[in-house]
Each structure stands twice: as C-alpha cells, then as structure tokens.
Amino acid sequence: MALVLKENFGEVPGEGHVEKWTLISSNVTVEIITLGCIITAIKCKDKNGDVNDVVLGYDDLQDYLANPRYFGAVVGRVANRIAKGRFVVDGKEYKLAINNGPNALHGGLRGFSKVIWTSEGVEGGVRLTLTSPDGDQGYPGEVQASVTYTLDGDTLSIQYQARTTKTTPINLTNHSYFNLAGQGSDDIYDHEVSISAQAYLPVDDNMIPTGEVKPTENTPFDLRGPVLIGQRLKEVPGPGFDHNFCLSSAGDERVCARVFHPASGRSLEVSTTQPGVQFYTANFLDGSFKGKGGASYPKHSAFCLETQNWPDAVNQASFPDTLLRPGEEYRHITRFVFSTA
C-alpha cells in the first residue's frame, strides 16, 4: 500500500482550506486536492525508468477553481449531459441550470467538481466526503457522497459511494485527461486504444444520445482493436471521439479499456463496475489554457476514459437505471492500472 502525505494547497476566500494529498507507491505517485477531488498529478515511469506526469492540469489553485474543462475532477451529481437540463422523478419535473448548449453538463454551474470536500486519510489513500443539500443545482434530495482514492503498486482505485434522502439521478466519474507521453505533449495520435464494447451510443447535434444502441462492428467506433488513435480520428465524423461505449455485464468489475503508448512503453488499463465509458479525445481543448509548467494543451492533446452510467439515462427509459432511492446505496469502483512494457 502507498505512503500517504498531506499538505496545505491553498485557501479559497470564504470557503476554506484546500489540502493536497500525495499517495506514493514504488512505481506511481498520485496527487489529489480536496477541491473537486481533483487528481492534479499522476507520475509514473516509462520503459527507461524516467518519470513523467501523465495527466493535464494547472500549477495554481486559482486555475483549478475555474477549470472549465474539468481537468482531473470528480464530476457530479450527474456526469455528462441531461437533455435540456430537465427530468421527471416520481411525477415531478426538475429543472437544472443549462450550461452546455441547450443541456445540463457535469452537475451544473457549481457541481461536485467545484466545491471543497472533507478529507481523511485511509490505508494507502484518502477518503473525501461531501454533503450536497436538497435542491443543490436543482437536484432532489440531500446526498451524502464519498470518493475514496487508494494506491497499491501500479493500481489507483477510485471507489464512489452515495446515499440520498429523496430519489435522485446520480452518476459520478473522474474526468482525468491522460497523455501517456507526458502532459504537455502535443497529441495522442501515437497512442493505441482498445475498448471492449460491442455497441456505442450515437448522438444528435446537441450531443444527446439518440436512443439507438448501435453495434460498433464495421464502424469507426469498433475499438476492440488495439487501434492507433491518430489513424482512427481521421475516420470518425466530427471533431473526434466524445461518445459513450456500452459495456456488457454491468455490476461486475471488468477491464473496459486499455491505452498503450509504444514510444514510452507506458500503458493504462481501466476496469470498472459501471455500464459505460465515455471516450473523449479532448476535442474542445484549443491551446488557450496555461497548463502545468507553462504547457499549452491543444485539441487532441489528451484522452479521457470516464466510466459512467449512460448519458441522459434519466430521460431514456431503455438505458440502465440511474436513480438512487432513499435507503439504497450507490457504490461503484473504477481502477486505473499504470504499467510499462
């Protein structure tokens, strides 16, 4: 199990201290701040033993407070899009803030990624907790949420748990942007991806799933590969991948994706209990942020693998149930395994 250190990261006036937790194993170092449960760094070796930070982010707390692209953050109460920011639960309509075209995205204007969580050390990691009040960002019920990060050797585990006082949709994920060549590298075109999905969700012009669960076979979305990302990006319509891949046997933890970067020898393997994973190739980055160490992050300079329930599930009856009811426990786990070959 990892060595766990804690230090002060900064102060948000009127809101409190932000702490930084560092988890150190023999191979990997992970840094997490209590603002938004943000993973600010993942440092791991390449095949020659050289260490690089493989996630995008910022140097300063100030930039993480804005963080318009959710670098490293836990997003919620509902990650991804809810069409028109509206849904009906138990016969009552709820309206959320519209923050992405006509839709609600990633929990709203001040979602779980924008608030300071309470933290405590656990064996090999840190547990962060949050009380989201009834009506928070328009969502029903008071939600007690926790996110536990633990590091053991090559494996970073993220366990999500929540309870509610009223029936509410919930969908928590981590929004880390990876570049296995090291953050600040220009693109991810030389990375190879495989995602074990026989189907994906096509989206409409507003990026809401159409409802069709489309087989990946004989489409550019068949990533059962491995597939070279740069090559495949030329075949995908639109600016790149930003789609939910449908995983079979939800509930059981299974490997859903692997990304390999031959030049460094680094690989990332993702396993999850969730029914989907959003594969996103950072299509909305445009080089306008000043990232860590002065890096600029152009389009396609990272990839995200956001394990999740299917987008807009609260409005699409055929999608996996996304409602958490009083008395139930929301619990799922995602693991990121970093290795070299």
- Binding residues for beta-D-galactose are 80-81, 175-177, 242
Say how many C-beta atoms besides its own lie within 10 A of residue 156's C-beta.
Answer: 27
Task: Give how many residues touch ligand GLA by CB under 6 A.
Answer: 10
CB nearer to ligand GLA: give 101 or 326. Answer: 101
Instruction: Give dist(CA 41, CA 54) in Å, integer.
Output: 7
Active-site annotation holder among 175, 243, 300, 332:
175
Binding segment for ligand GLA among 14-22, 56-64, 276-284, 331-339 (CB under 6 A)? 276-284
Instruction: Give dist(CA 195, CA 292) in Å, integer.
Output: 29
Q: Does 69 bind ligand GLA (CB under 6 A)?
A: yes
Binding segment for ligand GLA among 121-129, 148-156, 220-228, 278-286 (CB under 6 A)? 278-286
- Amino acid 148 reads T
Instruction: Give dist(CA 337, CA 157) in Å, integer.
Output: 8
Least distance to ligand GLA, CB of residue 51, Å:
27
Q: Does 338 bind ligand GLA (CB under 6 A)?
A: no
Tell me the per-residue interface mask from 237 to 256 with ligand GLA, x by CB under 6 A, - otherwise.
Answer: -----x--------------
**Whether 226 contacts 188, CB under 8 Å:** no
CB nearer to ligand GLA: give 27 or 99. Answer: 99
Q: Does 105 bind ligand GLA (CB under 6 A)?
A: yes
The residue from 271, 278, 281, 315 that contacts ligand GLA (CB under 6 A) is 278
Preceding amide of 224 cis, omega within 30: no
CB nearer to ligand GLA: give 103 or 164. Answer: 103
The residue from 33, 74, 304, 314 that contacts ligand GLA (CB under 6 A) is 304
Chain-centroid distance of CA 303 in Å reads: 10
Instruction: Give dist(CA 158, CA 42) in Å, integer.
Output: 14
Would residue 269 show up in a list of annotated catalytic residues for this protein?
A: no
Instruction: Give dist(CA 217, CA 219) in Å, integer.
Output: 5
- Amino acid 284 reads F
Burial class (CB in 10 A: 0-12, 13-18, 19+), 93: exposed
CB nearer to ligand GLA: give 72 or 141. Answer: 72
Tell me the per-residue interface mask from 306 to 335 with ligand GLA, x by CB under 6 A, - otherwise.
Answer: x-----------------------------
Sheet with 242-246: strands ordered across:
214-215, 199-200, 242-246, 276-280, 304-308
Q: Of residues 205-244, which lie at the interface with ligand GLA (CB under 6 A)?
A: 242
- DSSP H helical ranges for the chain: 61-66, 229-233
Q: Does 109 bind ligand GLA (CB under 6 A)?
A: no
CB nearer to ligand GLA: give 45 or 114. Answer: 114
Active-site annotation holder among 243, 261, 306, 332:
306
Instruction: Give dist(CA 180, CA 190) in Å, integer.
Output: 10
Would residue 192 show up in a list of annotated catalytic residues for this protein?
A: no
Which H or E run includes 323? Answer: strand 323-324
Residue ranges binding ligand GLA (CB under 6 A): 69-70, 80, 105, 242, 278, 280, 284, 304, 306
Q: Which residues are catalytic?
A: 175, 306
